[in-house]
């Protein structure tokens, strides 16, 4: 199994933990490597979440995402893995991760995965 | 009846079968032939699905769609046929197929068909 | 009362009558004549329907719409009349007709009319 | 209190009074005067309504709106006043008036007011 | 704790207090300072509210927002603080504040916070 | 040969005959008929000229262009004919006529013709 | 002949009179009245100039342009008149005035006039 | 060597052979096959020419371009071949052919070739 | 006279001093203060230059531009001052500075100033 | 000095060596590393050239550009190096390389370098 990059993610205390508000973060410079062809993949990640007690620190998020630069991983797997890592580290009320990958062979893909905390419904 | 192209479609195991996530695939280079006029038709197909146990492999999807290049088939028929082929091969929880065809005689058409598995509602 | 153009509309059998799918047809080259001023009106018609047993044939639709070219008729009337003609001839499950007319005197208008079959709700 | 401009609004009989359809009118050339600074204000009005027995005649609407050209009136007041005048004269089932004003001091405003007839809910 | 800027916010009486209408104000020239790096931040604030008895006066809003120009404050904190200040001063039925910040390190953020008065639900 | 529509074109005296300035007129609602297929053609005409002693009156230009509504004439011919008619009637220093026709069979055409008075070079 | 509005135009000393630089001013809220129909006209004025000893003060320019609000004047005449007024008051090295008027009867017009000082060529 | 498709191109007599005017034809539905990979290529062809004695007939141009549908040919070769075929058949004063191909492997290409008759310079 | 900020500008040696190439830098987050009203101004600066022996270091350019944040200075003056500071520090072959300021009172301004070294013409 | 990647570039014989035509290649997925911060840089490269005896093979170009993925190199240096490598390997008549880099610290850069063969002027 591949390395754990979660250690790079830092959080800070939500300044308004009693309000149910939304944070949307757009990262247009994501890149990883296709494990089948060895070719680089490029995409935009859009992370939307309702913070609980913690918010993700943006510079640490950037460094965490950069660790996938030379990692061989499929679209579906990387989307679900990043969602799981973020949920584990910042324990949001809800989170949606959209990953928009650039075209390959004339075909482009968008993967969208969601998390909803038990107690927040 | 026309040839079966389903044999070209390959799948791989969904890496997160327990999560209900969405995959959207945009194919802007679809072309087939109008059975009435013999003229080529051009369109963009947008496939959106929630995978069950299987995901469609993108290169095989491209080869499958290319088989319609010299196939005489109407807009409504090709849209429903591709939806049925994909549903049969990858057994998704849900699938929507939008087919946006370029103008003919100043008129453009979009066909949208949906599939919803019995057990997923 | 003005002439009946419905005779121009041809249909073909819906190739997937058991599936509830959508057909959207965009006609950007509609023109008729204002009965008050005698000036030509221009607009885009967007027809969205869920077919029942029949689909409208696109070339016949084009010829039908061209018959309004020299017809004096108001925006509201032409929109409702085309919806009624199409519903009468193709008996859809549902149909929406949006008519977007170009500006006159700095003011532009869009008329949207809907039809819903009794048995389809 | 300012002058009554409603007398300028003319109506015609709805050609399809039994159908519940929508009419959307976009007027990008609205101008009035700020009562505080004396400076002109500019905006776009979007009127969306479901006609009852009457429709508004577009040329009379244009003349009605032009009467605000040298009228000193605030954004919130003019939006509500035009909605009230139109409702009084054409008695629609529903009406929405959006007024999009151009930036002042780097800040732009949109006011949206709605009317819903008692009997139409 | 940082200075209170609420004193700058002026209001005027809602001209249509009985109607439930929406006011949307777009402020594309917001700037504050990152407390960690000392670098300026830039963003667009979109304030959408349903007024109760009071409306916010736009020039006073502009002066209030300009007070953050040299204030060191994080994205999440400034968004929640402005929402709270506006709610306290104008007591709206509802208010939404969207704050769209420009990219830093290739990553852009949007924070959206909402207020809903007890009695208006 | 087809009818002469030039009689419809009216002119007024150029208010600044000594200045060499440009007038650009965009007419997006031009329509004529294809003499081969009998189908309507649609296009946008862009007339750019440097007036001499006369300017074209816009309402008369509109009526002149409307006369082509039911006229059977090819793209290349109608473009050159309108240029010649306008040059004959308003005697400009220079004139360019661009005619942008909408797609037919997936192919769109733009015809551009120019006139330059002998004495103005 | 109509009133002289030039008295409203104020200037300030060019801070870099020895450099040949360009100033472009865009005024999207110009309005005057058509002398034939009495209807308001709307347009955007774009003034581009190379200052000599003087620059135009923007607030005075705004007040000057507002004086045309209820002035009956044709497109060609107002464009040339504003160019002449500005040239007379600020004596630029060069100036171009583009006036883009909104559509009337489906037809829109742009007038472009230029000034070039004798000594600046 | 591959088949000659020029026989499909039809011409008609230029209606204004004495005027030097431009014809621009945009064909967004061009497709051929990559001779190396066997995969289809897609592109838009833009043909701009100044006619001599002949103009190309658009329907014949469409049929000519369709003949490349199953032809294996590289970008550079097909661009130059189509230019040569058109020049040979319609003998224009000048012609430019731009071919914009869709991305492959994240890289897109545009080829632009020009022809200028000896006698027209 | 105002403070000298040039000391903040750092340079590095041009890696290709023998090639005449262009560097274009877009800074959309420029802000200063209007000396007349005390209100903040906002704009985008576009710096295009052909380097001689030196290139400007981007982080130092950012810090230099931030020094205008609370500086009272007019549009024309700040544009010419920044051009002069950059020319003095990096001695380019050519430089163009475009400054696009956001609208004030409905009017927006762009100032463009150029520098051309004696020896480079 | 850094490694030589030129060995990866392959060429093929220009199919039309006697015609002076243009090839434009757009590569939106370029990435390298900033040697100062260690952070990844992202950009779009646009290569425009007039081939001599050779054209660059696109797949080899993609592999060549991918070699910069983990290479520490500044914007100005990488732009000039790629231009030099391409000129050395394909010996074009002319070549222009535009490199558009994404924003860093709110500032974006475009570098444009040109090559012109002695004998082609």
Torsion sign over Cα G59, G61, G64, G65: negative
Distance (Å) from the C-alpha of residue D86 to the closest C-alpha of chain I? 29
**Residue of C29, C39, C70 lying closest to F42 (CB–CB):** C29
Regions of chain G with pLDDT less than 70: 1-2, 119-121
User: How many Å apart are CA E56 and CA E60, to the nearest integer?
Assistant: 8
H1 token code pair: 């060597």
Alpha-carbon gap, residue B53 to B91, rounded angstroms? 8
Interface confidence (ipTM) of the complex? 0.90
Upper half-sphere CA count for residue A2 (Cβ side, 13 Å)? 14
Answer whether residue H119 shows pLDDT above 80. no
Of the candidates I79, I80, I107, the beta carbon closest to that of G25 is on I107
Beta carbons of G61 and I114 less than 8 Å apart: no
Among residues B20, B27, B34, B85, the one annotated as catalytic is B34
Do B104 and F102 lie within an 8 Å CB cutoff? no
I4, I20, I27, I41: which is the annotated catalytic residue?
I41
pLDDT digits (tens, 9 = 90+) for B29-70: 999 999 999 999 999 999 999 999 999 999 999 999 999 999
Nearest to G97 by CA among G46, G60, G29: G46
Q: How many Å apart are CA E95 and CA E82, to the nearest integer?
A: 11
Q: Please give, one letter per residue, the 3-state secondary structure of J62-84.
A: HHHHHCCCCCECCHHHHHHHHHH
Residue C1 has pLDDT above 70, yes or no: no
Q: Read off the DSSP letter of residue I118.
A: G
Question: D25 and C108 in contact by Cβ < 8 A?
Answer: yes
The pLDDT-based confidence of F2 (bands split at 50, 70, 90) is low
User: Who has greater pLDDT, H43 or J105?
Assistant: H43
Computed from CA positions of residues F62, F64, F68, F74, in that sequence, does the dihedral angle turn out positive or negative? negative
Tell me the longest C-alpha to C-alpha distance in chain I: 47
Mean pLDDT of chain C: 93
- Whether E102 sits inside 8 A of J106 (CB atoms) is yes
pLDDT tens digit sequence for I29-67:
999 999 999 999 999 999 999 999 999 999 999 999 999
pLDDT tens-place string over residues C47-97: 999 999 999 999 999 999 999 999 999 999 999 999 999 999 999 999 999
Q: What is the secondary structure of chain H as a DSSP string? A: -PPP-GGG--EEE-S-TTS--EEEEEEEEEEEE-TTT--EEEEEEEEEEE-SSEEE-HHHHHHHHHTTTT-B--HHHHHHHHHHHHHHHH--SEEEEEEEEEEETTEEEEEEEEEE-GGG-
Residue pairs spanning B and C at CB distance below 8 A:
54
Q: Do J70 and J84 form a contact (C-beta atoms < 8 A)?
A: no
What's the mean pLDDT in H91-120? 91
Which pLDDT score is estimated for C121? 37
Residues of C whose CB is below 8 A from G105: 39, 104
List the single range of B58-67, C103-112, D26-35, H112-121 with lowest mean pLDDT: H112-121
Specify the pLDDT at position J2.
62
Question: Per-residue confidence of chain E (121 residues) as pLDDT tens digits?
Answer: 467 899 999 999 999 998 889 999 999 999 999 999 999 999 999 999 999 999 999 999 999 999 999 999 999 999 999 999 999 999 999 999 999 999 998 999 999 999 998 754 3
Chain F positions in Cβ-Cβ contact with residue C31 (cut-off 8 Å): 31, 40
DSSP 8-class letter at G52: S
pLDDT at C118: 74
pLDDT tops 50 at residue A121? no
Provide the mean pLDDT of chain J: 93
- Closest chain C residue to D29, measured at CA: C106
CB atoms within 10 A of CB D90: 23
Residue G113 corresponds to which tokens in the numbers above? 């006039």
Contact B23/B55 with Cβ under 8 angstroms? yes
Task: Give the position of tokens 């160019």.
Answer: G83
Length of chain C as a residue count: 121
* pLDDT at I120 exceeding the cut of 70: no
Cross-chain CB nearest to I21 (options J106, J108, J112): J112
Identify the contact set of chain J against chain E, taking CB-CB distances under 8 A: 39, 42, 102-106
User: Which structure tokens are listed for D43?
Assistant: 């905006």
DSSP F4: P
CA dihedral C37, C39, C40, C43 (to 10 degrees): -60
Q: How far is CA J78 from the centre of its chain?
A: 8
Q: Do D106 and I106 touch (CB under 8 A)?
A: no
The SS3 call for residue F119 is: helix
Helix or strand holding residue D78 (H, E): helix D75-90
Mean pLDDT of chain I: 93
Q: Annotated active-site positions of D, please?
A: 34, 41
Predicted local distance difference test score (pLDDT) of residue J119: 55
Q: Which contiguous run of DSSP H or E holds residue B77?
A: helix B75-90
| C-beta of residue G30 within 8 angstroms of C-beta of residue G45 | yes
Contacts with H121 (C-beta within 8 Å, 6 or more apart), sequence order:
none
State how far the alpha carbon of G63 is from the alpha carbons of A77, B3, B24, G9, I106, in Å: 62, 74, 54, 8, 12
Alpha carbon dihedral J14, J18, J21, J24, in 10-degree steps, equals 20
Task: Tell if the CB–CB gap between D39 and I105 is shorter than 8 Å.
Answer: yes
Name C7's Cβ contacts closer than 8 Å, sequence gap at least 6: none
Confidence of residue A120 (pLDDT cuts 50, 70, 90): very low
Smallest CA–CA distance, residue J101 to chain E, in Å, is 11
Which residues of chain E approach chain A closer than 8 Å at the C-beta? 74, 76-77, 79-80, 103-114
Residue tagged active-site, from I27, I34, I55, I85: I34
The residues on I that touch G, with CB distances below 8 Å, are 74, 76-77, 79-80, 103-114
Residues 6+ apart with CB under 8 A from G28: D102, G44, I106
Does the beta-carbon distance from B76 to C15 stay under 8 Å? yes
List active site positions of E. 34, 41
Q: Which residues of G touch F (CB under 8 A)?
A: 74, 76-77, 79-80, 104-114
Look at residue J40 and tell me whether its pLDDT is greater than 60.
yes
CA nearest to I54 within chain J: J76
Asked if pLDDT for residue B98 goes beyond 90, the answer is yes
Task: For residue F19, give the nearest of G80, G106, G110 by CB distance.
Answer: G80
Rounded Cα gap, residues E71 and C67, in angstroms: 67
Q: Which residues contact D93 (CB under 8 A, 6 or more apart)?
A: D20, D49, D50, D51, D52, D117, D120
Rounded Cα distance, F75 and F88, in Å:
20
What are the residue ranges of helices labelled H in chain C?
Answer: 58-66, 75-90
Best residue in A15, A25, A43, A52 for a mutation probing chain E (most E CBs within 10 Å): A15
| Burial class of E120 by CB neighbour count within 10 A (0 to 12, 13 to 18, 19+) | exposed
Rounded alpha-carbon distances, angstroms, from residue F84 to C42, D12, F107, G11: 27, 44, 27, 46
Q: The tokens of G94 are what? A: 């060069």
pLDDT above 90 (res F117): no
Question: Which chain B residues touch C28 with a CB distance below 8 Å?
Answer: 106
What is the residue-averaged pLDDT of chain A? 93
CB contact under 8 A, D76 and E24: no
- For CA atoms B56, B62, B66, B72, the dihedral sign is positive
Cα gap E56→E63, rounded to integer Å:
12
3-state secondary structure of B85: helix
CB–CB contacts below 8 A, B to H: 21
Calpha distance F57→F38 (Å, rounded) = 31
pLDDT digits (tens, 9 = 90+) for J47-103: 999 999 999 999 999 999 999 999 999 999 999 999 999 999 999 999 999 999 999
Summarised one tens digit per residue, pLDDT across range G89-106 is 999 999 999 999 999 989
The H or E element spanning position J98 is: strand J94-104
* DSSP string covering chain A: -PPP-GGG--EEE-S-TTS--EEEEEEEEEEEE-TTT--EEEEEEEEEEE-SSEEE-HHHHHHHHHTTTT-B--HHHHHHHHHHHHHHHH--SEEEEEEEEEEETTEEEEEEEEEE-GGG-
| Averaged pLDDT for residues J33-38 | 93
The total of other beta-carbon atoms located within 10 Å of residue B13's CB is 9
Which residues in chain J are contacts of E101 at CB distance < 8 A?
Answer: none
Q: Cα–chain-centroid distance for residue F86?
A: 6
* Least Cα separation, residue E69 to chain J (angstroms): 17
Cα–Cα dist I68/I32, whole Å: 5
CB of C50 closer than 8 Å to CB of C21 = yes
């Amino acid at each position: 199994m591949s390395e754990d990059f979660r250690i790079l993610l830092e959080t800070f205390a939500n300044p308004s933990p009693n309000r149910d508000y939304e944070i949307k973060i757009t990262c247009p410079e994501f890149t990883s490597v296709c494990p089948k062809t060895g070719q680089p993949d490029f995409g935009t990640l859009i992370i939307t979440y309702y913070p609980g007690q913690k918010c993700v620190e943006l510079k640490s998020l950037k460094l965490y995402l950069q660790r996938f630069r030379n990692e061989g991983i499929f679209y579906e797997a990387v989307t679900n893995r990043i969602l799981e890592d973020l949920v584990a580290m910042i324990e949001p009320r809800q989170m949606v991760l959209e990953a928009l990958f650039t075209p390959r062979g004339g075909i482009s893909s968008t993967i969208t995965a969601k998390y909803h905390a038990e107690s927040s419904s």
